[in-house]
Amino acid sequence: MPQSDIAMLIETIALDMRSAPERGVLPTYIPPLADVDPDKFGIAVLEANGRMHLTGDANEPFSIQSISKVYALTMALETIGAPIWSRVRQEPSGNPFNSIMQLESERGIPRNPFINAGALVISDILLSHFGAADARRAFLAFVRSLVAKTSGVRYDESLARQEYETGFRNAALANDMRNFGNIQNLIPSVLRQYFHQCAITMTCRQLAESGRFLMMGGRVATETAQSVSARTTQTVLALMMLCGHYDGSGSFAVQVGLPGKSGVGGGILAIVPGIASIAVWSPGLNAQGNSLLGTAALTRLVHATGWSVFTPPRHEA
């Protein structure tokens, strides 16, 4: 698809979204996220050839929240590798993102790295690998290495602290897994690492850039970043496809047909292997906790471009 078409297409989508009657609801349980302007909307599309297309609030930083789980899983796979699968599984959970029920029946082994319990295990793994003193820094450094200009890519310390102080369900999950021996560091350390990861802020542009290695099978273009293995990108993309939207993953796959990861801050990162890395942001959420207009925008974009992985490539048709 000619690049001019993509630019025009996302403009049209953004225009339509601006007047959408339903914008979803802001998450009330995290006060700073509840205060975000619900009219914010941005799209960034990075093509494989390096062209970046932006529209709306694509240069405004927002809290990526659970999208950070993509980077954390990548780091864990690149440092520890396959042994992580003895501590977290690779299957959809069939339960809400913060469910604690399954942990009990499955003896403290979370279903996948994208539900909260699984992400806490990944944070615990990063803490053990990098050390309590350095894990937070190492994580931020990795994320920064994925973007061209790191300005604004930082921890929102105030948000991290607030989430830490009110994150009782996550504390329950961590304690429960510790009970089964599946958390090895001190629980406050694990929670602080986890909530910092979630509290990273980025723009749509930076988010789309950060997905470049996933689009390209692991190869990255920045000078600072090391390449990621093809094996890791395959695994991360497969899990994004199966578990990236919590209990709405199936519906997202049917509508959009791309591996994607959402965050409760209203962002979604979606990858078209070999073709594009897409970031959308709209703060209002649907019933499953995923960006309502972000999903709608991706549905429109994929419908127009034929980018779904389930669509035969145009040149084959």
Amino acid at residue number 260: G
Task: Write the CB contacts of 307 (distance below 8 Å, at least 6 apart in sequence).
Answer: 257, 258, 272, 275, 276, 301
313 touches its own copies (CB under 8 A): yes
Restricting to residues 190-229, name those near its own copies by CB under 8 A. 215-217
Q: Given 143, 147, 236, 264, which residue is catalytic?
A: 264
What are the distances in angstroms from CA 150 to CA 124, 154, 200, 265?
Answer: 26, 8, 12, 20
Active site residue 69: yes
Is 92 a binder of its own copies (CB under 8 A)?
yes
Q: Is 151 annotated as a binding residue?
A: no
Q: Which of 12, 79, 95, 162: binder of its own copies (CB under 8 A)?
A: 95
* Amino acid at site 215: M
**Considering the rule CB under 8 A, would residue 112 count as an interface residue with its own copies?**
yes
- Told to check if 103 binds its own copies by CB under 8 A, we report yes
**Least distance in Å: CB of 308 to its own copies?**
6
Closest contact distance (angstroms) between CB of 213 and its own copies is: 11
Active site residue 194: yes
Q: Is 66 annotated as a binding residue?
A: yes
Residue 113 near its own copies by CB under 8 A: no
Specify the residue, 132 or 242, whose C-beta has the smaller distance to its own copies: 242
Per CB under 8 A, 3 contacts its own copies: no
d(CA 63, CA 72): 16
- Binding-site residue numbers for substrate are 66, 116, 163, 170, 194, 246, 264
List active site positions: 66, 69, 194, 246, 264
